């Protein structure tokens, strides 16, 4: 092996050219990735090898000039992992997040992804990761819809019409071709207008986009309900969904937090997670009850386990359904509550796929690290 190291830089336009927005392919990659996880061929952060990542948050009352002050989604996050299977790749997603970014025309979070050789640690690619992250996050709900949505699903409700609402819908459209109605509930007219224009442009097969005044209107009669709104700090303020609003047989996809009556969660829904060990790790890392802190419904499941109200076997891993070990449904009327936690292995799977596309297509800028290391 040569001592010389170069790596590929991929800007956001490069990523688009290399296929980062190919949602149908991304759903396929995420399905394969989930099966790879179920076999244990991966490592994430922490002693438990299942940590979401490491987070830098700020104090409510900084004592030093220039130190940021705590605010909604004000943080830095590092998400490292190794993924085996067909990927054989290590890497890390790194980003800063600040809701005030929207006031100056920037995304809430600005993300970068580094891919590394799994053996030497040498950098292979540094890539823009906002689209990468958005599409892989949407694709995991897409895998859920492929296996849990009813085959004749026609109506989708999106509670939160931002980036995650758009990419989740794109994934649903890729696996449920019969969808012809989209209902949306949002907080601001600007995001609602943007979402409506997006649907009309990207999915001309959708016959109707219905802007709803409240959650009940959106949820009623919907075959798929997706909650992608930014969660408040307190669980009591999470988006509430009443069982009586939910259509029999519906899939409720939750990349964000929602609140349900406890009796419904315990007794009258199928509880599905993307990777049980992720929530097990969160239960170790955060004090009980962890749901308010984690804000992903799978943490509510582990809280209920902690209280002795449900058992481990009540929580289904989607990979077991994909591989035919567990049926998706026991009844056509089953309501599925599907937890989407977000994992760095997802970024590696999709980032690696796009990186290899870029290599084949000659996309990106090759940058030098060194001809020969000064210290070795």
Q: How far apart are the C-alpha atoms of 254 and 296, rounded to whole Å?
A: 7
Token pair for 218:
């959106």
Do 149 and 293 fall within a single domain? yes
Q: How far apart are the C-alpha atoms of 338 and 86, rounded to whole Å?
A: 26
Determine the pLDDT at residue 2. 81
What stretch of H or E contains 209? Answer: strand 208-211
Closest Cα partner for 185 from 226, 238, 140, 138? 226
Whether 376 is in a domain gets the answer no
Q: How far apart are the C-alpha atoms of 162 and 358, rounded to whole Å?
A: 28
Helices (H), 39-175: 130-148, 163-175
Do 185 and 116 fall within a single domain? no
> Rounded to the nearest 5°, which phi and psi values hold at 161?
-90, 30
Count of structural domains within the chain: 2
Whether 363 is in a domain gets the answer yes
Do 165 and 310 fall within a single domain? yes
Determine the pLDDT at residue 99. 87
Do 123 and 149 fall within a single domain? no
Do 29 and 78 fall within a single domain? yes
Residue with tokens 């392919």: 25
Angle, nearest 10°, between helix axes 130-148 and 23-38?
A: 70
Whether 320 is in a domain gets the answer yes
Determine the pLDDT at residue 325. 97
Whether 315 is in a domain gets the answer yes
Do 232 and 104 fall within a single domain? no
Closest Cα partner for 81 from 120, 37, 122? 37
Burial of residue 105, with CB atoms counted within 10 A of its CB: 0-12 exposed, 13-18 middle, 19 or more buried: exposed
**Residue-range definition of the domain harbouring residue 77:** 5-132+345-370
> Rounded to the nearest 5°, which phi and psi values hold at 7?
-140, 165
Determine the pLDDT at residue 1. 63
Do 211 and 337 fall within a single domain? yes
Do 26 and 155 fall within a single domain? no
Whether 375 is in a domain gets the answer no
Q: Is 95 helix (H, G, I), strand (E, B) or coil?
A: strand
Do 41 and 157 fall within a single domain? no
Residue with tokens 């994430």: 44
Whether 167 is in a domain gets the answer yes
User: What CATH number does residue 274 fall under?
Assistant: 3.40.50.720
Whether 208 is in a domain gets the answer yes
Do 233 and 276 fall within a single domain? yes
Do 284 and 266 fall within a single domain? yes
For the chain, give percent helix, strand, coil, nearest 5: 40, 25, 40
What is the chain's pLDDT, residue by residue, as a tens digit (376 residues)?
689 999 999 999 999 999 999 999 999 999 999 999 999 999 999 989 999 999 999 999 999 999 999 988 899 999 999 999 999 999 999 999 998 998 899 998 999 999 999 999 999 999 999 999 999 999 999 999 999 999 999 999 999 999 999 999 999 999 999 999 999 999 889 999 999 999 999 999 999 999 999 999 999 999 999 999 988 889 999 999 999 999 999 999 999 999 999 999 999 999 999 999 999 999 998 999 999 999 999 999 999 999 999 999 999 999 999 999 999 999 999 999 999 999 999 999 999 999 999 999 999 999 999 999 999 8
Determine the pLDDT at residue 231. 84
Burial of residue 324, with CB atoms counted within 10 A of its CB: 0-12 exposed, 13-18 middle, 19 or more buried: exposed
Burial of residue 65, with CB atoms counted within 10 A of its CB: 0-12 exposed, 13-18 middle, 19 or more buried: exposed
Do 60 and 112 fall within a single domain? yes
Q: Residue 69 carries which DSSP code?
A: P
Whether 99 is in a domain gets the answer yes
User: What CATH number does residue 35 fall under?
Assistant: 3.30.1780.10
């Amino acid at each position: 092996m040569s001592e010389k190291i170069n790596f590929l830089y991929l800007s956001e336009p490069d990523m688009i050219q290399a296929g980062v927005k190919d949602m149908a392919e991304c759903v396929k990659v995420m399905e394969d990735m989930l099966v790879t996880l179920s076999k244990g061929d991966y490592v994430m952060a922490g002693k438990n090898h299942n940590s979401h990542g490491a987070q830098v948050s700020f104090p409510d009352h900084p004592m030093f000039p220039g130190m940021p002050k705590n605010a909604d989604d004000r943080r830095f996050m590092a998400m490292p992992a190794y993924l085996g299977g067909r990927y054989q790749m290590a890497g890390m997603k790194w980003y800063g997040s600040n809701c005030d970014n929207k006031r100056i025309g920037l995304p809430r979070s600005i993300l970068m992804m580094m891919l590394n050789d799994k053996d030497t640690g040498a950098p292979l690619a540094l890539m823009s990761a906002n689209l990468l992250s958005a599409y892989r996050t949407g694709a995991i709900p897409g895998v859920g819809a492929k296996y849990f949505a009813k085959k004749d699903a026609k109506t989708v409700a999106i509670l939160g019409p931002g980036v995650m609402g758009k990419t989740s819908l794109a994934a649903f459209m890729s696996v449920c071709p019969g969808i012809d109605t989209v209902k949306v509930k949002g907080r601001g007219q600007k995001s609602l207008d943007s979402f409506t224009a997006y649907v009309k442009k990207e999915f001309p097969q959708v016959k109707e986009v219905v802007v709803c005044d409240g959650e009940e209107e959106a949820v009623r009669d919907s075959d798929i309900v997706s909650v992608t709104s930014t969660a408040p700090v307190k669980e009591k303020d999470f988006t509430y969904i009443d069982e009586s609003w939910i259509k029999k047989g519906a899939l409720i996809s939750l990349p964000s937090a929602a609140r349900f009556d406890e009796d419904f969660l315990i007794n009258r829904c199928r509880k599905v997670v993307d990777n049980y060990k992720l929530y097990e790790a969160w239960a170790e890392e955060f004090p009980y009850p962890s749901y308010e802190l984690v804000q992903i419904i799978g943490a509510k499941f582990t809280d209920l386990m902690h209280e002795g109200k449900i058992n481990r076997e009540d929580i289904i891993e989607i990979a077991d359904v994909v591989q035919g070990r567990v049926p998706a449904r026991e009844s056509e009327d089953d309501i599925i509550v599907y937890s989407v936690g977000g994992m760095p292995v997802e970024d590696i799977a999709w980032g690696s796929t796009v990186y290899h596309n870029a290599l084949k297509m000659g996309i990106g800028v090759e940058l030098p690290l060194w001809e020969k290391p000064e210290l070795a």
